[in-house]
A and B are shown apart, each in its own frame.
Chain A
Amino acid sequence: MGFKRTFDAEDVQELNVKNARQISYCNKLAKLDEGVPYRVSLEKSSVVAGDDISDLYGYKCEDDVENGFETSAPFSWITTGLCEEDSQSGATTQSTLSHESPESDIPWRPVYSEEDVYWCPVSPRKTVPIGPDYQADIPECVKEEASGQSGQAVGYDEEQVTGKCVIPMPDCETEVCKIGKGRKECICLDKGSIRCVQQHIMENREDLFETIGYDRCLNLGLYEMGEEVAGKLTEDEEDLFHEIVYSNPVSMDRDFWKHLKSAFPSRTMKEIVSYYFNVFILRRRAIQNRSKSLDVDSDDDEWQVEYDNTFYGAETPSDDKAEKSLSRDEEEEVNANEDSYMSFEYQSNAIYSRCPVKNREESNIGNYWRHCNDLVDQSYSFDPCDSILPDHCWTKNIDLLPTSNIIDEIFGQDPWDDFSRGK
């Protein structure tokens, strides 16, 4: 079964002869194949002829297996690469031919090209035959028409061909994976809104804290993540934070971290960074994800959402400005219900955005209005509802500051009025 390396000087002569025969055979093969875009190993064999034969590892077939190897073309297995790699076989370059009887008279020729060659015995007579006697008929693909039609099936009834069912398909419904399907138990009217998500997260957090205990939560750092972090900063501080970040955009080569650090001397850098990632970025992400405008760029670190925060419903802390805007609303002939939805939606989104409206460029005004319209559209899709939203959603850590004065400064009264008519 094994084959010895024939590498001694005495054998080189023999090898030469064998190789010469092989190469001539290969050259004959070369004539058969003209134009070889991806098999150029035949070229290679003629190159080999000129090279130092001692680089070749040739193997002679020692055993005369049953059919007898009548090697008119020599039976040599030539591998590229070095012996060391073949340590797996426990011997130096080992490629044995099967001790069972492959067909005799098989020339060896390379099957793969490029710098590697993997030589393989191929039968010269055994090429893939072509013709009507060999190939199958390819039916037309009638997919578009065939849905439900069994008439397309050739010659037999499709119903019959599917066989006789012995055990029916097990019910997969119960085992359907629930991942990716969202909150099943959410019954909020504004399902999927920022407020809804915030509420559910809060609920689940409470559950978790109850389940695993306060201490563990503390150790896990759960009090340092998410909306909890928002509570660590006062409203003023939050506003300031936003202002600093947006007025020092990286695109203008400013470093807002530096400014933040100096603006919050009492806060550690850790706290500042924590707020940035746990609150600032996340809120922006939440709003941006729900934006319906087509030109949002989630990679744009300087994307800002402005709202005015004056469209408050009854739950909000009273404030001069708020009341003023509210009364202005009431003047308009807007459905009171609709109004509360607008405010409802605004409130939910406005929690997060108290960015000052300065440093806006002209083009962004369009975005702003468009965004407001988006929100309006959203709010109209809600069913009329008279219930007041749970207090804790609104009052927790939320003291909304009016920025209507700033908006008035920038935009003036007119667009404001247009907007409040709900156009």
Chain B
Amino acid sequence: MENTASLATGPDGRKRRVSYFFEPEIGQPTDPFPSHMAHKLILTYGLDRHMEISRPYLAGVFDFTQFHSPEYIQFLASLTPMNNKDPSVSLNKSRFFDLDVNRHTNSTIFNGLFDYCRASAGGSLSAAVKLNRQEADIAINWAGGMHRAKRDRASGFSFVNDVVLAIAELLKVFKRVLYIDIGFRHGDAVEEAFYNTDRVMTVSFHTYTDTPFPRDGDRRELYSLKAPLKNGLKDKSLRNLFRPVINKAMQVYQPEVVVLQCGADSLAGDFTFNLKVKGHGACLEYIRSFNVPLMVLGGGGSTFRHVARCWCYETAIAVGVGEQLEEELKVNEFHYKPNFQPDFNTARDIEIIRNGLLRQLSQLIHVPSVQFQDTPPISAATEPAEVDMEKRQVTQNLRRSKL
């Protein structure tokens, strides 16, 4: 296996205890969620023989309000297809939903929205508890990964942020959590939720259009890594960025547990990235090889059969039989209609982002591990020498370069 950080022949080379959560009762049979379709594939390929399968705990209002505001949850609980058109509901919708959510909410998802959230969040909570109790090495919840739901605001397909809830649960036992997000959109809500603590580091690979305005000089930025990527991102570009950055993050931050959001909207044919299932799965494969307890979550993805294929492949990787399913699942093929976009991320672009992130990470070595609350930004006075050096270096290089 060339895509790993450790040797496959080590004592626990291929085998991990994998715990998988799936709730069959949620969702319409005629309009299944991608996690349902993935589950079907998983059973078809016999992956159920390799892992523990459980029905998740169904989270409730109490669980949701560990992060979300009570008013928001109340609103979610009260929504039905019947009152969808009520004026009062509409008012709240504009308060609690983003514009893009409103587009989504016209679908039948509404019919079991609250139950969907309960299963999604419940699965992630169950996964967290499994890892907390050391009953599994890898815990999977494809219904989870709703990384954009804010405390009192839905966004995209995310209504309840199971990722935040799960990480909060993990923090009861693990000192440091590394959250990695390879969904197309920026995992901003997760980053935001844990912005003030150094016990969670977030690393997100997403579309460049999602980049927030960074708080320059703020130490907290060191724990919120962002890789804004251009359209057409292909396997190779992602790999050249993902592996060195994650490698360094693991080294420098030494997380005790890793949470990986495997949003399939970064696959080709969905938004504007061009990842194949192979390249997408390679991320999981790489992280798995560090032998750190790992939570694997789903996410977005609009072409469900691609999503299902992707998550089935990633399940196979988790249990250690990924290679055997590559042919069957056609992981090395593009599945979108021929409208080939080039990868606008040049090697140079990737290099720049990589260098930037690696530099950020190396600053962590010098920063003592301090629990901060509302740390004000570092003033220039604290590190004047370094700043000047950098400035001088930059301007020198500028004059040399063609800019």
Binding site for B on A (CB under 8 A): 33-41, 43-44, 47-48, 51, 55-56, 78-82, 85-86, 88-90, 94-96, 98, 100, 102-103, 111-118, 120-130, 133-143, 146, 152-156, 158, 160-170, 172, 175-177, 179-180
Docked complex Cα distance between A152 and B351 (Å): 45
Once the chains bind, are A136 and B67 in contact (CB under 8 Å)? yes
Docked complex Cα distance between A33 and B380 (Å): 10
Q: Which of B357-398 contact A (CB under 8 A)?
A: 359-360, 363, 374, 377-383, 386-387, 390-391, 393-395, 397-398
What are the interface flags for B183-224 relative to A under an 8 Å C-beta threshold, 1 for contact and 0 otherwise? 000001001111111010000000111011111110000001
Which B residues touch A124, using CB under 8 A?
213
Once the chains bind, are B217 and A161 in contact (CB under 8 Å)? no
Which B residues touch A120, using CB under 8 A?
208, 211, 228
Pick 16 A–B contacts, CB within 8 A, sort by A: A36-B380, A47-B395, A55-B403, A80-B348, A80-B352, A111-B356, A114-B359, A118-B352, A121-B208, A127-B215, A134-B151, A136-B168, A139-B168, A142-B173, A156-B57, A179-B11
Which B residues touch A85, using CB under 8 A?
346-348
Besides A56-B403, A122-B211, 20 more A-B contacts (Cβ < 8 Å) are A35-B217, A36-B387, A37-B382, A86-B346, A88-B346, A116-B351, A116-B352, A118-B228, A121-B208, A121-B211, A126-B212, A134-B150, A136-B167, A156-B57, A163-B21, A175-B15, A177-B9, A177-B11, A180-B10, A180-B11
Once the chains bind, are A143 and B175 in contact (CB under 8 Å)? yes
- Known contacts A96-B231, A129-B192, A161-B125; A39 and B391 CB within 8 A of each other: no
Docked complex Cα distance between A36 and B196 (Å): 19
Say yes or no: is B172 at the interface (Cβ < 8 Å to chain A): yes
Question: Of B55, B123, B197, which is within 8 A of A166 by CB?
Answer: B55
CB distance from A117 to the nearest CB of B (A): 7
Say yes or no: is B107 at the interface (Cβ < 8 Å to chain A): no
Segment among B44-52, B82-90, B275-283, B292-300 that sits at the interface with chain A = B44-52
What are the interface flags for B121-135 relative to A under an 8 Å C-beta threshold, 1 for contact and 0 otherwise? 011011001101101
CB distance from A46 to the nearest CB of B (A): 10
- Known contacts A137-B66, A169-B19; A122 and B129 CB within 8 A of each other: no
Once the chains bind, are A165 and B52 in contact (CB under 8 Å)? yes
Question: Of B10, B54, B213, B228, which is within 8 A of A126 by CB?
Answer: B213
CB distance from A138 to the nearest CB of B (A): 5
Once the chains bind, are A161 and B126 in contact (CB under 8 Å)? yes
Say yes or no: is B337 at the interface (Cβ < 8 Å to chain A): no
Once the chains bind, are B356 and A128 in contact (CB under 8 Å)? no
CB distance from A42 to the nearest CB of B (A): 9
Once the chains bind, are A98 and B175 in contact (CB under 8 Å)? no
CB distance from B310 to the nearest CB of A (A): 22
Once the chains bind, are A98 and B394 in contact (CB under 8 Å)? no
Once the chains bind, are A43 and B391 in contact (CB under 8 Å)? yes
Nearest B residue to A178 by beta-carbon distance? B11
Nearest B residue to A116 by beta-carbon distance? B352
Chain A: interface secondary structure? loop
- Known contacts A80-B403, A120-B228, A122-B213; A98 and B15 CB within 8 A of each other: no
Which A residues touch B30, using CB under 8 A?
none
Which B residues touch A118, using CB under 8 A?
228, 349, 352-353, 356
Question: Of B52, B151, B228, which is within 8 A of A133 by CB?
Answer: B151
Once the chains bind, are A138 and B393 in contact (CB under 8 Å)? no
CB distance from A299 to the nearest CB of B (A): 25
Nearest B residue to A160 by beta-carbon distance? B57
Which B residues touch A135, using CB under 8 A?
192-196
Once the chains bind, are B209 and A98 in contact (CB under 8 Å)? yes
Which A residues touch B217, using CB under 8 A?
33-39
Docked complex Cα distance between A403 and B192 (Å): 77
Say yes or no: is B12 at the interface (Cβ < 8 Å to chain A): yes
Once the chains bind, are B151 and A38 in contact (CB under 8 Å)? no
CB distance from A103 to the nearest CB of B (A): 8
Docked complex Cα distance between A274 and B351 (Å): 49
Docked complex Cα distance between A135 and B216 (Å): 19
CB distance from B401 to the nearest CB of A (A): 6
What are the interface flags for B37-80 relative to A under an 8 Å C-beta threshold, 1 for contact and 0 otherwise? 00000000000111111111100001100110100000000000
Docked complex Cα distance between A129 and B192 (Å): 7
Question: Of B11, B224, B390, which is within 8 A of A113 by CB?
Answer: B390
Which A residues touch B191, using CB under 8 A?
128
Once the chains bind, are B213 and A113 in contact (CB under 8 Å)? no
Docked complex Cα distance between A130 and B197 (Å): 12
Docked complex Cα distance between A160 and B57 (Å): 7
Docked complex Cα distance between A85 and B195 (Å): 36
CB distance from A141 to the nearest CB of B (A): 5
Once the chains bind, are B394 and A113 in contact (CB under 8 Å)? yes
CB distance from A48 to the nearest CB of B (A): 7
Say yes or no: is B335 at the interface (Cβ < 8 Å to chain A): no
Which A residues touch B387, using CB under 8 A?
35-37, 40
Once the chains bind, are B380 and A55 in contact (CB under 8 Å)? no
Docked complex Cα distance between A85 and B9 (Å): 39
Once the chains bind, are A89 and B344 in contact (CB under 8 Å)? yes
Once the chains bind, are B15 and A177 in contact (CB under 8 Å)? yes
Say yes or no: is B303 at the interface (Cβ < 8 Å to chain A): no
Docked complex Cα distance between A172 and B50 (Å): 9
Docked complex Cα distance between A81 and B135 (Å): 50
Once the chains bind, are B391 and A162 in contact (CB under 8 Å)? no
CB distance from B195 to the nearest CB of A (A): 5
Which A residues touch B123, using CB under 8 A?
163
Question: Of A82, A86, A115, A168, which is within 8 A of B52 by CB?
Answer: A168
CB distance from A330 to the nearest CB of B (A): 49
- Known contacts A37-B380, A164-B54, A177-B12; A115 and B401 CB within 8 A of each other: yes
Which B residues touch A96, using CB under 8 A?
231, 344
Say yes or no: is B343 at the interface (Cβ < 8 Å to chain A): yes
Once the chains bind, are A98 and B355 in contact (CB under 8 Å)? no
Docked complex Cα distance between A222 and B64 (Å): 68
Q: Which of B140-165 contact A (CB under 8 A)?
A: 150-152, 164
CB distance from B340 to the nearest CB of A (A): 11
Say yes or no: is B13 at the interface (Cβ < 8 Å to chain A): yes
Which B residues touch A143, using CB under 8 A?
172-175
Once the chains bind, are A122 and B212 in contact (CB under 8 Å)? yes
Nearest B residue to A129 by beta-carbon distance? B192
Question: Of A128, A165, A176, A179, which is within 8 A of B15 by CB?
Answer: A176
Q: Which of A38, A154, A155, A169 has the most CB of B within 10 A?
A: A38
Once the chains bind, are B378 and A35 in contact (CB under 8 Å)? yes
CB distance from B68 to the nearest CB of A (A): 10
Which B residues touch A154, using CB under 8 A?
66
Question: Of B63, B67, B344, which is within 8 A of A94 by CB?
Answer: B344
Once the chains bind, are B378 and A100 in contact (CB under 8 Å)? no
Say yes or no: is B342 at the interface (Cβ < 8 Å to chain A): yes
Docked complex Cα distance between A102 and B13 (Å): 44
CB distance from B231 to the nearest CB of A (A): 6
CB distance from B364 to the nearest CB of A (A): 12
Docked complex Cα distance between A67 and B111 (Å): 32
CB distance from B358 to the nearest CB of A (A): 11
CB distance from B391 to the nearest CB of A (A): 5
What are the interface flags for B1-39 relative to A under an 8 Å C-beta threshold, 1 for contact and 0 otherwise? 000000001111111010101000000000000000000
Question: Of B51, B230, B355, B380, which is within 8 A of A169 by CB?
Answer: B51
